[in-house]
Amino acid sequence: MPADPPSSDAIRAAIDAITPTWQSARHRLPVVISGASNWALSRGRMLVDTDTLWIGTGAPAGTPTLNFKRSREALGGECRQVIFNALDGLDPDALGAVAGLPRGGGRLVLLTPPLDQWPQLADPELARITAYPHTAWEARGVFVARLCRLLRACPQVWHLREGQPLPVPPRPTGGTPASSEPPEDACRTADQREAVDRIRAVARGRPRRPLVLRSHRGRGKTSALGLAAAGVLADGLGDVLVTAPRRASVEPLFALAASQPGVVTESNGRLHHGDQQLRFIPPDVLLDSLPEARLLLIDEAAALPAPVLEALFQAYPRCVFATTEHGYEGTGRGFAIRFQASLARQAVSVHRLTLTTPIRWAPNDPLEALIDRLLLLDADPVETLPADPAVERVDVTAVDPARLGEDEPRLSELFGLLISAHYRTTPRDLRQLLDVPGSRVWQATLQGHVIATGLTQDEGGLGTALSEAVFNGERRVRGHLLPQTMAAHAGEPDWPALRGRRIQRIAAHAEARRQGLGSRLVQTIAQQARDDGLDFLGVSFGVEDDLLAFWAAQGMRPLHLGHHRDHASGQRAQVMAMGLSDRGRDHVERSARRFQQRLPALAAGPLREADPALLAQLLAQGQSPAGNDLLALVPADRRQVLACAHRQHHLDAALPALRAFLPSGLGHQMVQNTLPLPDRALLVGRFLQLREPEDLATRFDLSGKQAVDTQSRRILRDLLSALEQDTADQSGPDGLA
């Protein structure tokens, strides 16, 4: 006769019996309770104690609870037990965020439907990443199927199933008992103490010698920043600034700093020790305001793009870049690839330290290993490429998500590429590429290894009434980022009706970059989109010089530049597209021309704080026809422009004429070949953006307003000379075109 299914009392007794063993090893027990909702909830509620955090719905009254969206608020905290209710949906980012909370000897309890049924169930959480008009019912279920397979295969998961006998709880393997010796200071490990000392040394030392601090989660990195910040304040060296993608992620830093002797918390959240202050400023605000400080601490630096980090280091030469090596919201590997080379060029010397010793649990913790595998937090690209990664030998294909979800080595290589290449790759992206309808995964393989990948999403095809509502600002449907941006923000009402494909991500192995792999991927994706009868292929990205040049080289035209910078990345979103059908080509060309026409007016308004070099590059995409645009001006305006360049006519008096002339003048290929980008950028800043002379003098390393105007006149003369040369080159030997 089979044993009885587990009762609440039996489960409780088994937990109590096994807990001392896990506490002694300082390892954390993964528990899965699967069954009907009422049954699993009742067993989960029975496990609640005074040191439990409940994630999701259904918590007993009085239990500390966070919903999925607020799960990040718990970062940096700790407890004995987390109960994660996935019965009504699974948010992979929330699971990744809270998996680091249980301390050694604790546990993570996952409440799920029966594992053999779960992949077939609709998940409301998928609705957040599923584009209209698709629904969660249409999702592929590959992510959950893979998760269930890995949970079943892990010997250290204690799996309690409705209707099944109570299994024997697993025992920890290895582990390290906690030291009985009290720490000499607030640091809890030797490498955390070294980190504090190294951070304080940056504050005391000479400038341009930054520290790069890296660690896996749970190693005390953020706490080390807080202890070091309090020490710098106590040393009286000056103010300390902290920045990060989100204020919530550095709460532990401020909490630990506030607990140190002599540190006082103000009502506005700032800390001070005597006259020295510690305060948080978001990256975009920090770059705008640039307050004085002795030391800048950048936590989760991997979640900020390289240009933002470079600008911060330029402004604050005593700087610490801290980042998580394997994290659910950004990655230290992408940080290393994209930023550390440029940091080495800017710095006198770069110091590095990696924290390796876990603080909340012992090494080789089974829960840490399980979560890393479930969410691919430790995914890496193939380590070494074949000796000859020639583009012509690479096979570029679309990938079947179901097969990809069952091929762990290939999935890890592919997702590792995305992690390394993009600063915001999270477990939710893994679920999206495996499950979301309308999405496609592309791979470039060489000798069986993934060396480049791309993700796309189908967009558009909205009805006339809905398109009109989007344009009027009355509706915003889930997904369809590019056509809705073009309608609502670029003023193009017909774009939502077009059918297109947006490239969401594209990534190539670090050893195979600049060999044409990205172009091969884009060409393959574009051809398939043509074969599918779509109107356009587009992209929206945080604009950087190299990315703008790459997409332009693929045949994409600039259509819109975001009016506001992303608060975390500090970048503006650039929309570009190419037409695939006759209708699509007409819309892309018309929108590209309109963007060029609108750019001068936008430059003096919502784009006034944009990088003038970026606007100069966008104007260069205007493809002005050959010839001298000066001749197109009315005689009075033409005379003013010439007098500004060759005489001392007042520049502000000629603003209307200059603003009418420069957009097309800067678009000429001859001008781009002749005038360096900084020169063209100064003309944009002075005459199109109408920036203050003091700002321009600082940006372009000039002595003041007079120097700005003198330089502007010189560049204007060079521009006119380039146009005259272009006109001459287009004429025959008799001076006739």
What pLDDT is attached to residue 661?
A: 94
Which of 305, 337, 355 is at the close of a domain?
355
- Any domain includes 3: no
Judgement on whether residues 217 and 323 belong to the same structural domain of the protein: yes
Q: How confident is the model at residue 169 (pLDDT cuts 50, 70, 90)?
A: very high
> DSSP for 139-175?
---HHHHHHHHHHHH-TT-EEEETTSPPPPPP---S-
Judgement on whether residues 316 and 239 belong to the same structural domain of the protein: yes
Cα separation, 39 vs 411, whole angstroms: 34
Q: What is the CA radius of gyration of the chain?
A: 29
Residue 667 clears pLDDT 70, i.e. is over it:
yes
Sequence-ordered strand ranges (E) for 389-485? 395-399, 439-446, 449-460
For 675-697, how does the pLDDT look when each residue is reduced to its tens digit (9 = 90+)?
A: 999 999 999 999 999 999 999 99
With both helix axes pointing from N to C terminus, report the angle between 545-553 and 612-620 in degrees, rounded to the nearest 10.
Answer: 10
Which of 355, 374, 399 is at the close of a domain?
355
Judgement on whether residues 141 and 225 belong to the same structural domain of the protein: no
102-106, 357-361, 384-388: which has the minimum mean pLDDT? 384-388
- Any domain includes 583: no
How far from 575 is each of 243, 314, 560, 563, CA to CA, in Å? 28, 28, 5, 12
Residue 115 clears pLDDT 50, i.e. is over it:
yes
Q: How confident is the model at residue 510 (pLDDT cuts 50, 70, 90)?
A: confident
Q: How confident is the model at residue 181 (pLDDT cuts 50, 70, 90)?
A: very low
Judgement on whether residues 155 and 88 belong to the same structural domain of the protein: yes
For 614-663, how does the pLDDT look when each residue is reduced to its tens digit (9 = 90+)?
A: 999 999 987 666 556 677 889 999 999 999 999 999 999 999 999 999 99
Higher pLDDT pick, 349 / 727: 349
Cα separation, 355 vs 189, whole angstroms: 9
Q: What angle do CA 420, 380, 378 make, to 5 degrees?
A: 100
- Any domain includes 318: yes
What pLDDT is attached to residue 61?
A: 95
What pLDDT is attached to residue 460?
A: 97
> How many structural domains is the chain composed of?
3
| 553: three-class secondary structure by DSSP | helix
Residue 185 clears pLDDT 80, i.e. is over it:
no
Judgement on whether residues 101 and 214 belong to the same structural domain of the protein: no
178-187, 500-509, 641-650: which has the minimum mean pLDDT? 178-187
182-191, 420-429, 728-737: which has the minimum mean pLDDT? 728-737
For 384-443, how does the pLDDT look when each residue is reduced to its tens digit (9 = 90+)?
A: 776 665 666 889 999 999 999 999 999 999 999 998 877 678 899 999 999 999 999 999
Judgement on whether residues 155 and 195 belong to the same structural domain of the protein: no
What pLDDT is attached to residue 305?
A: 75
Contact 486, 588 (CB under 8 A): no
| 66: three-class secondary structure by DSSP | strand
What pLDDT is attached to residue 569?
A: 58
Contact 159, 181 (CB under 8 A): no
Residue 325 clears pLDDT 80, i.e. is over it:
no
The phi, psi pair for 635, rounded to 5°, reads -55, -40
How far from 526 is each of 417, 531, 539, CA to CA, in Å? 21, 9, 12
Which of 161, 182, 206 is at the close of a domain?
161
For 526-574, how does the pLDDT look when each residue is reduced to its tens digit (9 = 90+)?
A: 999 999 999 999 999 988 888 899 999 999 999 999 998 776 556 799 9
Q: How confident is the model at residue 182 (pLDDT cuts 50, 70, 90)?
A: very low
Judgement on whether residues 214 and 137 belong to the same structural domain of the protein: no
- Any domain includes 521: no
Burial of 350 (0-12, 13-18, 19+ CB in 10 A): middle
- Any domain includes 694: yes
For 580-594, how does the pLDDT look when each residue is reduced to its tens digit (9 = 90+)?
A: 999 999 999 999 999
Residue 508 clears pLDDT 60, i.e. is over it:
yes
Residue 179 clears pLDDT 60, i.e. is over it:
no
Residue 576 clears pLDDT 60, i.e. is over it:
yes
| 457: three-class secondary structure by DSSP | strand
In 26-137, which residue ranges form alpha helices assigned H by DSSP?
Answer: 37-46, 92-98
Q: How confident is the model at residue 194 (pLDDT cuts 50, 70, 90)?
A: very high
Q: How confident is the model at residue 725 (pLDDT cuts 50, 70, 90)?
A: confident
For 435-466, how does the pLDDT look when each residue is reduced to its tens digit (9 = 90+)?
A: 999 999 999 998 889 999 999 999 999 999 99
* Residue 269: CATH number of its domain: 3.40.50.300
What pLDDT is attached to residue 180?
A: 43
- Any domain includes 499: no
Q: How confident is the model at residue 183 (pLDDT cuts 50, 70, 90)?
A: low
* Prediction pTM value: 0.87
What pLDDT is attached to residue 136?
A: 84
Tell whether the torsion through CA atoms of 283, 287, 289 and 290 is positive or negative.
positive
For 15-64, how does the pLDDT look when each residue is reduced to its tens digit (9 = 90+)?
A: 999 999 999 999 999 999 999 999 999 999 999 999 999 999 999 999 99
Q: Give the residue among 61, 63, 47, 49 at the shortest CA–CA distance from 13.
A: 47
Judgement on whether residues 209 and 120 belong to the same structural domain of the protein: no
Tell me the average pLDDT across 498-524: 92
What pLDDT is attached to residue 390?
A: 64
Residue 736 clears pLDDT 50, i.e. is over it:
no
What pLDDT is attached to residue 652?
A: 95
What pLDDT is attached to residue 561?
A: 97
| 119: three-class secondary structure by DSSP | helix
Cα separation, 422 vs 80, whole angstroms: 34
| 608: three-class secondary structure by DSSP | coil
Judgement on whether residues 194 and 341 belong to the same structural domain of the protein: yes
Judgement on whether residues 39 and 117 belong to the same structural domain of the protein: yes
| Residues of the domain holding 103 | 8-161
* Residue 149: CATH number of its domain: 3.40.50.11040
Burial of 583 (0-12, 13-18, 19+ CB in 10 A): middle
In the chain, the percentage of residues whose pLDDT exceeds 70 is 92
364 CB-near residues (< 8 Å, 6+ apart): 27, 173, 174, 175
Amino acid at 583: R
621 CB-near residues (< 8 Å, 6+ apart): 552, 557, 558, 592, 596, 667
Judgement on whether residues 240 and 327 belong to the same structural domain of the protein: yes
Q: Are strands 395-399 and 439-446 parallel, antiparallel or unpaired?
A: antiparallel
- Any domain includes 84: yes
Contact 31, 157 (CB under 8 A): yes
List beta partners, residue 34.
112, 161
For 275-292, how does the pLDDT look when each residue is reduced to its tens digit (9 = 90+)?
A: 999 999 999 899 989 999
Residue 128 clears pLDDT 80, i.e. is over it:
yes
What pLDDT is attached to residue 334?
A: 53
Contact 216, 365 (CB under 8 A): no
Residue 166 clears pLDDT 70, i.e. is over it:
yes
How far from 18 is each of 49, 54, 126, 153, 613, CA to CA, in Å? 16, 22, 36, 21, 63
